Chain A
Amino acid sequence: MAARRAGAGCWQRALSLGLGRRCRLPRGPDSYRSSSSSPALGKTVDNSQVTQEEIVLPRRKTWDKLAVLQTLASTVNRDPTAAHYMFQDDPFLMPRNAANSRLYSLSKESGKNAAKYIIKNFPQYFDKTFAEPNIPCLMPEALTPQTEGMSEEALRERIHLRMVKESVDMFDQLLQAGTPVSLETTNSLLDLLCFYGDGEPTPEKEPEEKEDLEEPGVNASEQKAPKRQFQRGSRSSGPRWRENNHAERIFKIIPERNAHSYCTMIRGMVKVKLFLTAGGFSSAFEISHSQRLFIFVFLQHGAYSKAYDMYIDLLNERHKADVHAFNALIRAVPYLKERFVERWELTKDLLTHMAQQKVQPTLLTFNSVLKSLRRCGGVGRTMSLFVLKEMEALDIEPSLASYEHLLSVHYKGVDAPSSDIISEVLNEVENRNFTAQDPDDANFFTTAMQVCCDLKDIKLAYQLNKALEKGDNWKFLDVDRSNGYWSKFFSLLCMMEQIEVVLKWYKEMSSSLFYPTPKNILDLLQALDAANQLEMIPSVWEDVKQLGFSRRQDLLEEFLSLMSRDQHPSEIQLAFAKCAEEIKAVHEPAGPGQVPLEWTGSALGHVVVLFSRAGRTQDAWNMMEHFQKINRIPTDKVMDEFLNCAKQTNCPDEAIKMVKLAASLGLPLSQRLKSRTEEEFELSETQKKALESIKWDGDSSDSDSDSSDSDRE
C-alpha cells in the first residue's frame, strides 16, 4: 500500500516530464526550465511569451517500455520488517531463518523448473496459442530438428539445437558417405563438442533430481552413499576432458584446420566448470576437500598440459591464436608450472606472444592474468600492480573481478596487511557504476568485506557499503553472497561500533537483508556485554528462537553465563528467569521424535542462579535435583545463591534439602551451609531435627550408599 501511494507521486512526475518533453521550445534555456517544472506553469509562461515562438509537437514520442516501471521501482525502499519479496506470495511461507529461506527459495525455483520440464518433455499438450499476442517464452521450444535426411544443412541444424550425439553421428555418416563438410560447419561442431566436453548439455538440475527418484532405496545403505554423491559431484561439476573424446577424434580426422579449430580445442581443454571453487555447491557433497582437490588435479592436469601442447602445435602450423584461447591458456598457467616465478614467466611469455601476434588483449585477458597471479604468492603482489598499470595504459577499465583478484592477491594469507591497497581500490570503485563483464565480478563485495573484517577497519566497511548501494551494484550479490556479506559486516559492527549503532543496524538488517548466523548472535551478545546493556538479552533471545538457534549449545551457554554473571534489578531478573525457563524447556523432552539437549553442569548452575535471583525457589530446587541425575556438582556460588533465595522467600524446607544434597555429594561447603541455615532461618523443631540428622552420615532414608561411602573413607 505504501508503495502504491509512493508510486502515485511518481506517476505525476513521470507525466509532467513526458509532457514537458513533448513541447520542444527552441528559444532559450528559460523555456526549458519552465517546461520541466510543471505542465500548468509551463503553459502560463508560454502564453506570456507567445506569438513568434513556433511550437513543434513531435508526432509521437517513443517510450522506453521500461521507463515507467523503472521510475516506479526506484520509489520503493526495502521494508526492514519484511522478508524478501520472493516470499511474499504466501504469508504462511514467510521464512524466519536462513534454513527456511533457503528451502523456500529453492522450492520455488524447483517448481519453476518442474513446470519447464513438463513443457519441454510434453510439448504435444501445449499446442494451443492461448495468448493474443503470443508470448513466446511461455511456449515450448521447438527442439526437434525440422530437416530430415543427411546433409550438411541437417548437421548444422542439429549443431544449432545442441544435440551433441546426433551431430557427431551425422558428421560420421556424412564423412563415410564421402560428403565433404565445410570448415565452418566442422568448426561449429568442434565448438559444440569442446564446450560440452562430450557430454550432452544438461540444463537445469533435472538429472540430479531424477537420480534421486531412481534410487530411493540406496540412500539407506551408507556404504554406497558417498560414492553416489561423488558421482553426482563430478557430474554437476560439468564436463571433463576425456582422452580421445569425440572432439579430439574429429580434430584429428578433419582434413584442414584453421586457427579457430585450434583455439576452440584449447578453450575446451582449459574450460573448467569449477568444481573446486564452487564451494557453495560442493559443501553438499560428503567428500573431503582434499579428496576433491586431489581428484580434481588428477583429472584436470592432463587436459591443461594438453591445451598447452595444442598451442605449440598451432604455432608450428603458423596459425595465430585468438584472444579467447590466450585467456584460457593464461588461466591454465598455475596448473602447468609448480613454482611461482615460473608461473609468472610463462604468463609473461604468453602475453608477449599475444603482442607479437598482434592480438589485442581484452579486460578478460587481464582478469585471467590477475586470477593466475592469485596463485603466485609474493610474485603476484608485485606483478599485479604492474598488470593494473598496463590496463590503465591500454585504456581498459578494470572490472570488479580485477579488483577482487587484486585484493585477494594482496590480502589472502598475508601476515600484516596494510590498508593502502583496499582503500585505493574502494576509492576507485566508489565512483563507478558497474555492469557485469566477468563471471568473477560477483565475488568482489564479499571478498572486500572479508578484507575489511581482517583489517578491522569499520570506515572502509562503510565505504564499501556505500559503493554497494550505488546504482545497481547490489545486483552483484546473490542470496548466498549477500548473506555472507552482511553477516561479516555485522560482525565487524559488533566489534567496532557503539552499541546504539549496532542495534540500529541489527534492526535494519536482521531478517530483511540477511539472517544472522550463530556467530553473529555471539558477537552481538559480546557487544551488549561490552556496552553494559545486558537487559537487552531477552529480546535477543526472542530473535534467536525465531532464527532456530535455540538448540545451539554454545549460544545457550553464552546466554546463560551472561545473564547469571551479575545481579540486576528485579524486573530484569524476572525476564532473565523467563529466558532460563525456555532454555530449560529445550533440555527437556518435548514432543515425540525431539531429542532433548543434554544438560551441562555450568548450564544447570546458571539456570539455578537465574531462578534463585528471580525468587522462584521451587523451580530452582527442581533444577538442583538435576545435578544429581547427571552426576555433576553445583559450584559454591550456585548453592549460596539458592540459599539466599530460600531465605528471601522464607522456605527453610528447601534450604534443608539443599544442605542434605550438599552433604550427600560430600561437598566441603555443606558444613558452612548447614551453619548458615541454622543461623539465618527460623526453624521449627522438626526442621531442626531434620537438619541435625543430616550430619555426615546423611539421614536414614537415602543413607545406605552414603554411609557405606563414608565407611570406606
Chain B
Amino acid sequence: MWGLAARLLAAARPHGTARPHGTARSKQKLFSTSSVLSKDKDKSTASKDSPPEGAAKKQEDGAETPKQQLLDIIGNMKVEVSYRKKLQQLKASENKKQAMNKVEGLDSEGSVPQGITEDTQRDKPLNPELVKAASAVASSLPHNKKQIESELLAQLRRHEETTDKQKKGGTINIRNVISEMTVKRQSPAQWGVRISGRISLQDEDGRRIRPERSSARSMDSRRSLKVGRRLNIFTKASTEPEHALKTVSSPTIWDLEFAKEVAAVTAQPPRNGFEEMIQWTKEGILWEFPIDNEVGMEDDAEFYEHIFLEKHLEGFPKEGPIRHFMELVICGLSKNPYLSVKQKVEHIEWFQKYFEEKKELLQEI
C-alpha cells in the first residue's frame, strides 16, 4: 500500500506541476520587469543631478545619500518579501498535504483569497521610512519636488502591488520557479536536447535582460582600443645616456633570474626529432649541422689543398718507380689530418731534394 501511495504521488506530481508552469513563468517575468522599471527610474532620477558614473562611484564609496537609503530600503523589502513568500509556501504545502488528491484544484482555491488580500493591500500605507526617503530624494532635486515625490511613491506602490500579486500567485510554484532557474543554467550545455525549450526561454530572457544589456552596451561601445585618450604622464624621450649607463653595469641576479623566467615561458618540450636535435645543438650536445668540409678553413688553406697534392709532383719523373712511390706518398698525406698544408708540401719537397741528390746513384742502377 505504501508503495502504491508513493507511486500515486509520483504520478500526480508531473500533472500537478505541468499547469502552473506557465503561470509561474509569466509571474516571474512580471516581477522582473517591475524591478527593471524601478531601476530605470532610479537611474533617471540620478541622472538629473549627476552623471551615472558619478552615482556609481558614490555607491562604491558607500556614502549614505538619500538615494542610497532608498535603494537600501527597496533591497530590504525584497528580502522581506521573499521571506514572506517562504512562509506562504509552507502553508501551501500544508494545504497540499490535507487535500492531497485535490492538487489540481488548489489554483482556483488560491485565487479567491488573492483578490481579497489585494484589495486590502492597496489601502495599506507604504512603509513610513520609505516615504520619508522618497521625499528626501525629491527635496534634493531642484524642481518639481511634489511631482517627483508622488511619482516615486506611486512607483513604489506599483512595485509593492506586483510583488504581492506574485506572492499570492507564485507561492505554490516557488519550486517550479527554482527548477526553471536551474534548467536555464543548464540550457547552454544541453543545447541540443532542449533547443525548442531554450528558444522560448531565451525569448523571455531577452525581454528581461535587454534593458540592462542595452545600457551596458552603450557603456561598452565607447570602449575600444582605437579611440580614447591617453594618460599623458610620460613623454617620449630619447634616453641614450641612460642606455649607456645600463650597459656598463653587470647584470644582477634579478636580471639573470628574470631572463630565465621569461625563457621558461616558451620553453616547451620538443614536438619532433628535429626539434629535439635543435635543443641538443643549443645545449652543445650535438655536432653542429651541416657537417661539411669547411671545418678548419680558418688556417688559410682550402680542403682541396690538403687533399689534391698532385700538383706538387711536377718536379718528379712522369713515370717509373719514383713516380709510383710519390703517388703513394701523396695519397698518404692527403688522408692525414694532422699536418698542415705547408708541412705536407715541405714533406714532398724533401723527397724531391732527396731524389735530386741521389739522381746519379739512381741512374747508375
Contact = CB atoms under 8 A, between A and B. Distances in A.
* Co-complex (A, B): yes
Interface of A: 3, 7, 59-61, 63, 65-70, 72-73, 76, 78, 84-86, 105, 135-138, 162, 188, 191-192, 195, 264, 267, 324, 339-341, 348, 351-352, 354-355, 358, 360-361, 377-378, 381-382, 385-390, 392-395, 410, 415-418, 420-421, 424-425, 428, 435-439, 441-442, 456, 472, 474-479, 495, 522-523, 526-527, 529-531, 633, 665-668, 713
Nearest to A478: B268
B75 interface: no
B81 interface: no
A439 B261 contact: yes
B254 A191 contact: yes
A195 B225 contact: no
Interface in B9-64: 56-57, 60-61
Given A324-B254, A428-B225, A530 B269 contact: no
Interface string B226-242: 10111111111101001
B290 A439 contact: no
A385 B283 contact: no
B265 A162 contact: no
A320 B188 CA distance: 55
Given A76-B274, A667-B3, A475 B268 contact: yes
B213 interface: yes
B214 to A, nearest CB: 9
A395 B265 CA distance: 24
15 contacts: A3-B274, A65-B281, A70-B274, A73-B272, A84-B271, A85-B270, A85-B272, A86-B269, A135-B284, A192-B253, A358-B237, A360-B242, A386-B230, A390-B233, A442-B265
Contacts of A495: 188-189, 191
Which among A7, A69, A441 has the highest number of chain B CB atoms within 10 Å? Answer: A69
B318 interface: no
B7 A85 contact: no
A529 B216 CA distance: 35
Contact of A476 (B266, B276, B288): B266
Given A68-B289, A442-B265, A86 B270 contact: yes
B1 interface: yes
B290 A63 contact: yes
Contacts of B216: 415-416, 418
Contacts of B189: 495, 522-523, 526
Contact of A387 (B213, B231, B253): B231
Nearest to A400: B265
Given A70-B278, A195-B257, A666-B3, A416 B212 contact: yes
Contact of A69 (B3, B263, B271, B289): B289
Given A192-B253, A386-B228, A456-B188, A436 B266 contact: yes
A210 B1 CA distance: 65
A348 B254 CA distance: 25
A365 B57 CA distance: 27
Interface string B269-298: 111111111100111110011101010010
Nearest to A415: B216
B285 A135 contact: yes
B285 A137 contact: yes
A582 B270 CA distance: 38
B193 A68 contact: no
B225 A385 contact: yes
B144 interface: no
B142 interface: no
Contact of B192 (A162, A437, A531): A531
A360 B268 contact: no
A8 to B, nearest CB: 13
B262 interface: yes
B224 interface: yes
Contact of B297 (A60, A192, A382): A60
Contact of A188 (B60, B228, B252): B252
Contacts of B209: 416
Contacts of A86: 269-270
A324 to B, nearest CB: 7
A394 B236 contact: yes
Nearest to B212: A416
Contacts of B193: 526, 529-530
B220 interface: yes
Contacts of A105: 269
Nearest to A528: B192
Contacts of A67: 289
Contacts of A84: 269, 271
B336 interface: no
B298 to A, nearest CB: 9
Nearest to B228: A385
Interface of B: 1, 3-4, 7, 56-57, 60-61, 188-193, 195, 209, 212-213, 216-217, 220-221, 223-226, 228-237, 239, 242, 252-254, 257, 261-278, 281-285, 288-290, 292, 294, 297
Contacts of A713: 1
B208 to A, nearest CB: 12
In order of increasing CB-CB distance, the 9 nearest A-B pairs are A530-B192, A73-B274, A389-B230, A475-B266, A436-B265, A65-B288, A713-B1, A390-B231, A418-B220
A394 B234 CA distance: 8
Given A192-B253, A436-B263, A530-B195, A351 B224 contact: no
A673 B203 CA distance: 44
A85 B253 contact: no
Contacts of B263: 436
Given A73-B278, A416-B209, A666 B270 contact: no
Given A476-B265, A477-B268, 16 more contacts: A3-B272, A59-B297, A73-B274, A76-B272, A85-B273, A135-B283, A341-B57, A393-B230, A416-B216, A420-B220, A439-B261, A441-B265, A476-B266, A529-B193, A665-B3, A666-B4
A381 B223 contact: yes
A266 B265 CA distance: 25
B233 A424 contact: no
A575 to B, nearest CB: 21
A667 B270 CA distance: 64
A318 to B, nearest CB: 19
Contacts of A441: 262, 265
B223 A355 contact: no
A66 B290 CA distance: 9
Contacts of B236: 393-395
B266 A390 contact: no
Contact of B281 (A69, A381, A428): A69
Contact of B234 (A7, A355, A668): A355
A381 B53 CA distance: 13
A367 B56 CA distance: 27
A60 B272 CA distance: 31
Given A341-B60, A420-B220, A188 B231 contact: no
Contacts of B278: 66, 69-70, 73
Given A135-B285, A522-B189, A386 B231 contact: yes
A410 B216 CA distance: 12
Nearest to B263: A436
A351 B231 contact: yes
Contacts of A479: 268-269
Contacts of A436: 262-263, 265-266
Contacts of A415: 212, 216
A298 to B, nearest CB: 25
Nearest to A193: B253
Which among B7, B189, B272, B274 has the highest number of chain A CB atoms within 10 Å? Answer: B274
Contacts of A358: 237
B224 A667 contact: no
B277 to A, nearest CB: 5
Given A191-B253, A340-B60, A438-B262, A351 B223 contact: no
A65 B289 contact: yes
Nearest to A377: B60
Which among A390, A395, A437, A477 has the highest number of chain B CB atoms within 10 Å? Answer: A390
A420 B224 contact: yes
